[in-house]
Amino acid sequence: MSLSDIRARIAAAEAAAQRPAGSVQLIAVSKEQPEDRVLPVLEAGHRLFGENRVQEAAGKWPAWRERFGAVDLHLLGPLQSNKARQAMELFQTIHSLDRPKLAQTFARLAQELGQCPQLFVQVNTGAEPQKAGILPEDADRFITVARALDLPVIGVMCIPPVDEDPATHFAQLAEIGARNGLDALSMGMSDDFEVAIAHGATHVRVGSAIFGARR
Ligand SMILES: *Cc1c(COP(=O)(O)O)cnc(C)c1O
């Protein structure tokens, strides 16, 4: 288990970027990981986890929460509108607000449930056709729409294209956040979280570097 290694690397990256210690939150991405890899991280006291799929998370986390107490759960993957209610009940934060219809669904359910998770708007910075996210040129307008619906949008999120220098994408996301007055930046994964921290990431999403490769 290399949770402590990753923590140390985050601390070093914060210091190198002259950012305050503790300004970056580590989301341990436990999707597709077997229980014997996740339990040591829970036992080490970590309480911030990320998952990709509502169904998978709903099958694992209620029991782990019963055993370990409150766990801050973040949804990182694309969300279908028909799973929105379940997601809002399971997750404290959702990183994949990526279209007007989903914003409307969240707004309606928030009224009904009397609560809404914190939201990140996912931006498709590489404009990749197969990838979720709002296009960069549509981001400002979409953020305005989501705010007009009274949704608790706290930041923006991106997943850079695998074959490109992530730094450009992190810089672009930081700019979108800044010009919209959004402080939270969800960016950086196992291979590039230090670069993301240099560009202002507040939430890094690290899976395989903590738990090992997914099968
Ligand atoms: C799987 C996943 C991660 C973690 O990826 P690693 O390369 O294992 O760190 C981060 N963010 C999202 C959106 C993911 O789907």
| CA 209 to ligand 1: nearest atom | 9
Residue to mutate (ligand 1; options 205, 210, 215; most atoms within 8 A of CB) = 205
Residue 189 CA to ligand 1 center (angstroms) comes to 6
Domain carrying residue 76: 3-211
Cβ neighbours of residue 209 under 8 Å, at least 6 residues apart?
A: 2, 6, 190, 191, 193
Question: Is the pLDDT reported for residue 204 higher than 70?
Answer: yes
Q: What is the DSSP string of 150-164?
A: T--EEEEE----TTS
Question: Ligand 1 site: residues with CB under 6 angstroms?
Answer: 29, 31, 52, 76-77, 159, 189-190, 205-209
| CA 191 to ligand 1: nearest atom | 7
Residue 208 CA to ligand 1 center (angstroms) comes to 8
The confidence score (pLDDT) of residue 215 equals: 79
Q: Are 3 and 49 in contact (CB under 8 A)?
A: no
Q: Mean per-residue pLDDT for 60-66? A: 98
- Residue of minimum CA distance from atom 4 in ligand 1: 207
CA-to-CA distance for 158 and 142, rounded, in angstroms? 15
Mean pLDDT of the chain: 97
CA 57 to chain centroid? 14
Number of domains in the chain: 1
* Residue the block writes with tokens 């694992």: 60
| CA 31 to ligand 1: nearest atom | 1
The pLDDT tens digits of the residues spanning 95-143 come to: 999 999 999 999 999 999 999 999 999 999 999 999 999 999 999 999 9
Strands 184-186, 93-97: pairing kind: unpaired
Residue to mutate (ligand 1; options 27, 29, 51, 73; most atoms within 8 A of CB) = 29
Residue 179 CA to ligand 1 center (angstroms) comes to 26
- Residue of minimum CA distance from atom 6 in ligand 1: 207
Q: Are 116 and 152 in contact (CB under 8 A)?
A: yes
pTM of the model as a whole: 0.97
The pLDDT tens digits of the residues spanning 157-199 come to: 999 999 999 999 999 999 999 999 999 999 999 999 999 999 9
CA-to-CA distance for 77 and 98, rounded, in angstroms? 10
Nearest to 106 by CA among 133, 92, 87: 87
**The residue type at 115:** Q
The CATH number of the domain holding residue 151 is 3.20.20.10
User: In this structure, how many other beta carbons lie within 10 angstroms of the beta carbon of residue 205?
Assistant: 24
Cα-based distances in Å from 22 to 1, 83, 125, 146, 201: 21, 33, 27, 29, 12
For the chain, what percent of residues have pLDDT higher than 70? 100
